[in-house]
Structure 1
Amino acid sequence: MTTYIPGMLPDGLLVDLPEVDAQHEEIFNFIDFLKTICFEHSHMPVNEFGKLLDYFAIHFATEERIAEEVGLDFTDHAKIHTDTLRLLHKALGEVINGGQDAHSFLRFCEYWFERHIREDDKLFVSALQGGDYDRSVGYRHAASPCFSAQA
């Protein structure tokens, strides 16, 4: 992505894992880029919206790789990722078919992602950095009740 602006992620959304923080920041910057295109040009670049979902998938895979490398049980968190990608693909389909507004879709992506970082990723990184897991049992991530069922 060419829209990456380092240092724009608020401190409250930093998880203190550089690779993950950089990806979080890039995703938010890309959402802002898409908002700008939609507002300034009244145009929805479908291929760019698809890239956003691809980048979510890449980011989720990064977190899953990190958990696997240290032996954390990431099952619940990974399910949130899978469910969210399914939901976002469905919602994007509705935008493309005219059943949903592009701006609403982007606002939802931004809100969901911010909440996910605050409630899910911070818990994951805290356990990762603090060793708050039994390597023989693994880390059981408590799924957030807010979106885990819908995502």
Structure 2
Amino acid sequence: MAEGNFEYLPAALAVGVPEMDTDHERLFGCLEALKSACLGSEGLPLPQAESLYQTLQAHCALEESLAIAAGVDFADHREKHRKMLLSIRRMLDEVEAGRADVFSLLRYIDYWFERHIVDADQGLASSLLQGADFSLQRAGQWGFPDPLQMPT
């Protein structure tokens, strides 16, 4: 996918690190697919919801691997991810049990994700791009683990 040529990722949310922008695009696409499925059924399709959750976990792992490889302090960012994943897991469980509304969950994920990109990921991207040891051309050669295969 060409840089800046995204279907779901708003241009204002592109951070300039291709791996992150591509992953953000994928997450927004998963979220839009889940929204569409929910609108058609008024319920939560669990396989799609779990897929989005796993995609979020993988995204967090990707960002962490980029930060570690570049020597960027990731402690605060990691904690934000941990809290977000915990909140979404709880909300998914509540919706599945019939104690929460699916559309509240979708609004929360949408809002959190956009705010997180602005409040945290743009800063991370800036640190990555400015880091003396980080080169986007070399990033793919560092052997980052496949985030989809990382333990949760």
TM over 0.5: yes
Deviation at 1:87, TM superposition (A): 1.0
Q: What is the rounded CA distance, in whole Å, between the counterparts of 2:20 and 2:77 in structure 1?
A: 15
In structure 2, C-alpha distance between the alignment counterparts of 1:16 and 1:124, rounded to whole Å: 11
Q: Residue type of the partner of 2:90?
A: K
Q: Deviation digits for residues 18-58 of structure 1, max 9, x if unmatched? A: 11101111111111111111112333211210111110000
1:110 equivalent in structure 2: 110
> Any idea what the Cα deviations from partners look like across 1:91-119, whole Å, max 9, x if unmatched?
11011011111111011101100000011
Other-structure match for 2:84: 84
- Structure 2 counterpart of 1:34: 34
Root-mean-square deviation over aligned CA pairs: 1.6
Which residue of the partner structure matches residue 128 of structure 1? 128
- In structure 2, how many angstroms separate the alpha carbons of the residues matched to 1:86 and 1:8? 25
The residue that corresponds to 1:97 in the other structure is 97
Residue 55 in structure 1 maps to residue 55 in structure 2: yes
Structure 2 distance, partners of 1:116, 1:20, is 13
| Paired residue type of 2:117 | I
Report the Cα offset of residue 81 of structure 1.
0.7
Q: Which residue of 2 aligns with 1:12?
A: 12
Displacement of 1:80 in angstroms is 0.7
Structure 1 unaligned blocks of 5 or more: 133-151
Please tell me whether the aligned partners of residues 34 and 48 of structure 2 are also in contact (alpha carbons under 8 angstroms). yes
Cross-structure match for 1:65: 65
TM-score normalized by the length of structure 1:
0.80
CA contact (8 A) 2:15 2:121 kept: yes
Counterpart residue type for residue 27 of structure 1? L
2:118 and 2:84 map into 1 onto residues whose CA distance is 16
SS across alignment from 1:110 = helix
SS of the residue corresponding to residue 33 of structure 1 reads helix
Higher percent of residues as helix: 2
* Percent identity of paired positions between Structure 1 and Structure 2: 36
State the TM-score, normalizing by the size of structure 2.
Answer: 0.79
